[in-house]
Amino acid sequence: MELIELQRKSSSWGKAVDEIVKLEKKIFPKHESLARSFDDELKKKNSGLIYLEIEGGEIGGYVMYSSLSSLSSSITKLAVKEKYRRQGHGEALMKAAIEKCRSKRINRISLHVDPARSSAVNLYKKLGFQIDTLVKAYYSSDRDAYRMFIDFDNE
């Protein structure tokens, strides 16, 4: 298993994006999915993606992030295939994304998560994220989100 940063000009771009879009469609409800615009999102200069490649080339999960400004980044997606969950892959992907964002000397990383997804909330807390606020109707009229963040001192 290997964590790979998706490079826009790499020969694996099309195949990797296709696999990730399939995973995106399977894991997220249609109104939360970036499946239709995934390729466009990744082409943005301020975004990046790290994925987990399992032996045989299968993609086991991914994390997408973007730099909102020179001081702030956001984790926009984290997904791990069901058969690879609870094996530390989500944590490894998050740590890699955090390090990538920190390499840009940002001060804060933020994310949103459904409070009902307790395993995700607990993972983020384990990595040092704190709950900032509850955002009502973030995902849909009946689904809220915690806005979470982690701050860094870059002095």
Q: What is the pLDDT of residues 87-141, one digit of tens each?
A: 999 999 999 999 998 888 889 999 999 999 999 999 999 999 999 999 999 888 8
What pLDDT shows up at residue 20? 81
Query: Which domains are delineated in the chain?
Result: 2-107 (3.40.630.30)
Q: Compute the distance between CA of residue 10 and CA of residue 91 in angstroms, rounded to an integer.
A: 25
Q: Compute the distance between CA of residue 18 and CA of residue 24 in angstroms, rounded to an integer.
A: 10
What pLDDT shows up at residue 16? 79
Reported pTM: 0.85
Map 54-117 to HEC letters.
CCCCCEEEEEEEEECCCCEEEEEEEEECHHHCCCCHHHHHHHHHHHHHHCCCCCEEEEEECCCC
What pLDDT shows up at residue 153? 78
120-137 in b/e form (b: 16+ CB < 10 A) is bbebbeeeebeeeeeeee
